[in-house]
Amino acid sequence: MPLSDCKLISLPKIHEPRGNLTFIEGGAHVDFDIQRVYYLYDVPGGSSRGGHAHKALHQLIIAMSGSFDVHLDDGHEKKIFHLNRSYMGLYVCPMIWRELDNFSSGSVCMVLASNKYAEDDYYRDYAEFMRARWQA
């Protein structure tokens, strides 16, 4: 899939004086059923996360608190998304290399995933990812 398939998604935001509410429904706000939710937090300054691609997994990445950058690479094009709003999600399709960095203090990154964890879905070596990408 090309990098152009990855996009920012504006999520519903219900605003009221008692505080805002945002919700996400699989099949409505994302085109996949949500099988797994995980989050990253307490990332030390200067550290990065990710550094892999998925063969089949679809994800929605959200900055629940604070901010961070998501670097995406499809083997032809590269793009950086700065996430800093809990009502904006970044959809990442399969076969996209991703790295997350520039985490602000206290940031929380939540990821909604289309599948449960499966190690065999990962490309953890960039050269291997590129070989598979060019064969597709």
Question: Three-state DSSP class for 135?
Answer: helix
SS3 48: coil
> Which tokens is 54 given?
């998925």
69 and 102 Cβ atoms separated by less than 8 Å: yes
Tell me if residue 52 is catalytic.
yes
Q: Which alpha helices (H) appear in the chain, and where do they start and end? A: 126-135
Say which of 52, 54, 58, 76 is annotated catalytic: 52
Strand ranges in the chain using DSSP code E only, listed in sequence order: 7-10, 36-41, 49-54, 59-65, 68-73, 78-83, 88-92, 97-101, 108-113, 122-123
Q: Which residues are catalytic?
A: 52
